Amino acid sequence: MYVAVKGGERAIDNAHKLLADKRRGDREVPELSTAQIREQLTLAVDRVMTEGSLYDRDLAALAVKQARGDMIEAIFLLRAYRTTLPRFGVSEPLETAQMLVRRRISATYKDLPGGQVLGPTFDYTHRLLDFGLESGSEPAAVATAPADPDATMPRVTDIIAGEDLIERNPPADPAAPVGDLTRDPLNFPAGRDLRLQNLARGDEGFLLALAYSTQRGYGRTHPFVGEIRLGEVEVEMFVEDLGFAVPLGDITVTECQMVNQFKGSATEPPRFTRGYGLGFGHCERKAMSMALVDRALRADEFDEERKAPAQDEEFVLSHSDNVQATGFVEHLKLPHYVDFQAELAFIRQMRREQTAAKEAAE
């Protein structure tokens, strides 16, 4: 049990002033603007938005600055801020097939309709430090090539689905309620809607480690990246007063379609199975990890033996949230004097009893 303490106001106040000073750093170095963070540390902003579960590039950039670059602290700030805003409504489901694609790759088909575009990627870089960035040199001019403005990029999974070789996604039932773990506490077993919501805001490191564990044999799912796509999708929200859905603008998302092996059953011909990942901004590692864990959590659906951590829904969903996790781990730093005094009294009494028992025996 945690018993509150009083006092320490001046020390706390001064500590926060010191924090603000240290956050500013050497005054000889120009102060970082939130616009610079938004434009130049874009992947940090994307991660804070995804795990903070709030798409707002300006707020995420401010959170990164305020948190001195501590991602989980920044995510915490964004989660706290969202509780101050009313919810106007829910969007129509994002149509990722209509995406303005900036990157689209497949590890399963080299010649897929619409082609593969690498976009802005770290892939195939040599991971050598670029000292040109230290000296502030201008980047080379961007290359361009003719593009067909009306070209479509069908999802790879739709191509395999044409031959009925991959499972179909359960069709959307507009009347079915969609679970929301920001409104109702998570209960088990959770539906796939709640699992995907939980994974989408889950900690990238935690999901990456779990995804890696499935590859190493802890719940093998034999995955292929069917497709990863990055780009802009339109957001539409139904407005009651108008009676129709209104476009609000575009957001950037990353989607991963993982294709996994499945042997089939007595009644079903063999088909590939699927795992799905989706996140805000450019978050490929996160989307891939999410897709692998989503698939691993579907073990029961495919009569797979659940024996690995990544297949254990309660374990995964209860520990994926880094704000909850850091809250519980870091609360150990707060004064626990009363607790600890009780433990001290108890251990002293145990010692006394042990000594008395020993003396009585002698």
Partner 1 sequence: MSEPADPDLIEARRRAMGLFARATEAELREPLQQHWPDHGARDLKPVEAGLVMLRGRTGGDGAAFNLGEASVTRAVVELPTGERGFGHVLGRHPARARLAAVADALWQSEAARTLVQAAILSPIATRLSAEKGRHQTETAATRVDFFTMVRGEDAA
Tell me how far apart the alpha carbons of residues 271 and 261 are, in angstroms, rounded to a whole number.
7
Rg of the Cα trace of the chain? 25
Residue 29 or 85: which CB sits closer to partner 1? 85
Residue 21 or 301: which CB sits closer to partner 1? 301
Residue 169 or 354: which CB sits closer to partner 1? 169
Residue 247 or 335: which CB sits closer to partner 1? 247
Residue 28 or 173: which CB sits closer to partner 1? 173
- Which H or E element spans position 224? strand 223-239
Q: Are 274 and 295 in contact (CB under 8 A)?
A: yes
Q: Are 45 and 38 in contact (CB under 8 A)?
A: yes
In 3D, which of 159, 188, 166, 129 has the Cα closest to residue 268?
Answer: 166
In 3D, which of 79, 94, 45, 99 has the Cα closest to residue 325?
Answer: 79
Question: Which token pair is 76?
Answer: 């915490």
Residue 81 or 218: which CB sits closer to partner 1? 81
Residue 84 or 135: which CB sits closer to partner 1? 84
Tell me how far apart the alpha carbons of residues 78 and 53 are, in angstroms, rounded to a whole number.
8
Report in angstroms how near the CB of residue 21 gets to partner 1 at its nearest: 28
Tell me how far apart the alpha carbons of residues 48 and 200 are, in angstroms, rounded to a whole number.
12
DSSP state for residue 141 in the 8-state scheme: P
Report in angstroms how near the CB of residue 70 gets to partner 1 at its nearest: 20
- Which H or E element spans position 254? strand 244-260
Report in angstroms how near the CB of residue 40 gets to partner 1 at its nearest: 18
Interstrand relation of 223-239 and 244-260 (parallel, antiparallel or unpaired): antiparallel
Report in angstroms how near the CB of residue 64 gets to partner 1 at its nearest: 16
Report in angstroms how near the CB of residue 316 gets to partner 1 at its nearest: 16
Residue 218 or 224: which CB sits closer to partner 1? 224
Tell me how far apart the alpha carbons of residues 119 and 208 are, in angstroms, rounded to a whole number.
23
Residue 150 or 303: which CB sits closer to partner 1? 150
In 3D, which of 219, 180, 203, 150 has the Cα closest to residue 318?
Answer: 203
Tell me how far apart the alpha carbons of residues 66 and 308 are, in angstroms, rounded to a whole number.
38
Report in angstroms how near the CB of residue 210 gets to partner 1 at its nearest: 19
Tell me how far apart the alpha carbons of residues 39 and 60 are, in angstroms, rounded to a whole number.
12
Tell me how far apart the alpha carbons of residues 70 and 56 are, in angstroms, rounded to a whole number.
18
Report in angstroms how near the CB of residue 5 gets to partner 1 at its nearest: 35
Report in angstroms how near the CB of residue 81 gets to partner 1 at its nearest: 9
Report in angstroms how near the CB of residue 290 gets to partner 1 at its nearest: 11
Strand order in the sheet with 244-260: 100-105, 223-239, 244-260, 273-280
